[in-house]
Chains A and B, each alone.
Chain A
């Protein structure tokens, strides 16, 4: 049963520290998404990759957030420096554009608390 994996599952850090979240997409999927979920805003798209190339990161605060895909099996989301307002659950999802219909499959999320 192929699944998206995310690490760490929980992260507590202090304001100003760097946070790196990792995602392993489902093998063979060529799209990767980063979403953030808060009580106030719900689920928001932060970044989108297709074939490892970033196509949209308009949802990310550019000055502190960065997203990369070093290879097809790893996507990273980095926050530097972190702020209390970044506290949220961050979800990675992967999908495949083959077959004319794309379905996104989500990982379990990384719960981030910035103190």
Chain B
């Protein structure tokens, strides 16, 4: 799986958009970008994933650059409950031996009142 690079930490004001960047310059053509988050003392929570088109769901939006070497997770209106460690993971969607989610250190997002 391609390696990812994320900032160690970020701050965001409550109610504002949180934009979390991720670099994955060695991503392969069949690898997806997945985002998970882990709120303190809870299990990792799936947020969103995408291949090359931008994606949006009820939790967030995922913007992937045209060359697919980087992406941004957007939480449109951050709340205090969005304070968590956010993990950007690149892997093949399914099948074969590419089933692992390899978690790096992620970005600690702190939403401030």
Instruction: List A residues at the B interface (Cβ < 8 Å).
Output: 4, 31, 33, 42-43, 45, 48, 50, 55-56, 91, 93, 97, 100-109
Interface size on B, residues (CB 8 A): 18
Q: Are B43 and A104 in contact (CB under 8 A)?
A: no
Which of chain B's residues have a CB closer than 8 A to the CB of A42? 103-105
Contact of B45 with A106 in the complex, beta carbons under 8 Å? yes
Kindly list chain A residues whose C-beta atoms are within 8 Å of the C-beta of B32: 101
Residues of B within 8 A of A (CB): 32, 34, 42-46, 49, 93-95, 97, 99-101, 103-105
In the complex, the answer to whether B99 meets A101 with C-beta atoms within 8 Å is no
Contacts of B49 in A (CB 8 A): 101, 103
- Rounded to whole angstroms, the CA-CA distance of A107 and B34 in the bound complex is 18
Do B93 and A105 touch across chains, with their CB atoms under 8 A apart? no
Expressed in whole angstroms, the Cα–Cα distance for A56 and B97 within the complex equals 9
